[in-house]
């Protein structure tokens, strides 16, 4: 199967065939990334708009002091490079493939030439970006209002339910402790402390760097209704 066909299959699958005008459709390309590969790096010049159509990615930022903060994990459909396209700025956050990943990409130049005023694209971007905004808004308030214990409970709930949906089988709701710490914005050490508490209460089990959820009910009690998003 040719790339163009694959691309069209994805566009149909996610019902975004009409997002790009004719002239642009031919100029879409399909980029594949291996697990662990960096898709784009904070601070670099942004050139392409990407649409995640297959696999899972991780978006994170690194502080001047070298600390890492995971901003989100994303599954299809998701857009990367949208903010940078519109604002004309360098890449804000680093994006890395967590599994094998396929992305449809379009150069900014093409979009600027053929799709600057293409309402379907603009509406699509608005939709995606407002969703991102809302998510970011809730994480901000959530992080400032609640302690790590609540945030971790909430994160475990959100991740474990998502994993359920994907046909991952036994590995099911495994969560890497280091990821959790970086996502919540706290130290590995402190997450470990909280984990001990959860363990003592029989809410989770631990296995070599990973957690899996035993009692969603118990976690819900801790998290209140404050599930991520």
Partner DNA sequence: GATAGGAAAGGACATATGTCCTAAAAATCA
Partner DNA sequence: TGATTTTTAGGACATATGTCCTTTCCTATC
Residues making contact with DNA (CB under 7 A): 147-149, 177-178, 185-187, 189-190, 192-196, 206, 208-209
Applying CB under 8 A, among 143, 161, 162, 210 the residue interacting with its own copies is: 143
**Secondary structure (3-state) at 162:** helix
123 binds, among its own copies, DNA, none (CB under 5 to 8 A by kind): its own copies
Which of 41/137 has CB closer to its own copies?
Answer: 137
Applying CB under 8 A, among 49, 132, 154, 204 the residue interacting with its own copies is: 132
196 binds, among its own copies, DNA, none (CB under 5 to 8 A by kind): DNA
Sign of torsion over alpha carbons 168, 170, 173, 176: negative
Applying CB under 8 A, among 144, 165, 169, 170 the residue interacting with its own copies is: 144
Binding status of residue 113 toward its own copies by CB under 8 A: no
Phi-psi region of 88 (alpha: psi -120 to 50; beta: other; left: phi over 0): left
Beta carbons of 52 and 74 less than 8 angstroms apart: yes
Sign of torsion over alpha carbons 66, 48, 124, 104: negative
Binding status of residue 42 toward its own copies by CB under 8 A: no
Which of 93/186 has CB closer to DNA?
Answer: 186
Which of 133/202 has CB closer to its own copies?
Answer: 133
Q: What's the rounded Cα separation, in Å, for the pair 144 and 91?
A: 26
Beta carbons of 48 and 103 less than 8 angstroms apart: no
Beta carbons of 70 and 59 less than 8 angstroms apart: yes
**Secondary structure (3-state) at 48:** strand
Note the residues at the interface with its own copies (CB under 8 A).
61, 63-65, 67, 69, 71, 82-83, 86-87, 89, 92-93, 116-119, 122-123, 125-127, 129-134, 136-137, 139-141, 143-145, 185, 224-226
């Amino acid at each position: 199967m040719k790339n163009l066909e694959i691309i069209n299959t994805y566009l149909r699958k996610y019902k975004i065939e009409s997002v790009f005008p004719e002239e642009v459709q031919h100029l879409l390309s399909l980029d594949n990334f291996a697990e662990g590969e960096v898709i784009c790096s904070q601070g670099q010049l942004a050139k392409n708009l990407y649409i995640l159509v297959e696999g899972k990615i991780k978006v994170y930022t690194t502080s001047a002091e070298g600390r890492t903060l995971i901003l989100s994990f994303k599954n299809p459909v998701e857009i990367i490079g949208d903010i940078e396209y519109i604002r004309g700025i360098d890449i804000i956050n680093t994006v890395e493939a967590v599994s094998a990943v396929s992305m449809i990409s379009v150069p900014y130049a093409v979009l600027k030439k053929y799709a600057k005023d293409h309402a379907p694209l603009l509406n699509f971007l608005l939709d995606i970006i407002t969703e991102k905004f809302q998510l970011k808004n809730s994480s901000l308030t959530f992080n400032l209002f609640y302690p790590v214990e609540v945030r971790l409970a909430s994160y475990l709930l959100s991740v474990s339910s998502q994993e359920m949906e994907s046909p991952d089988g036994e590995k099911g709701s495994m969560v890497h402790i280091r990821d959790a710490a970086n996502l919540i914005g706290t130290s590995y050490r402190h997450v470990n402390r909280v984990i001990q508490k959860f363990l003592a209460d029989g809410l989770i089990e631990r296995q070599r760097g990973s957690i899996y959820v035993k009692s969603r009910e118990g976690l819900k009690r801790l998290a209140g209704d404050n599930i991520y998003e």
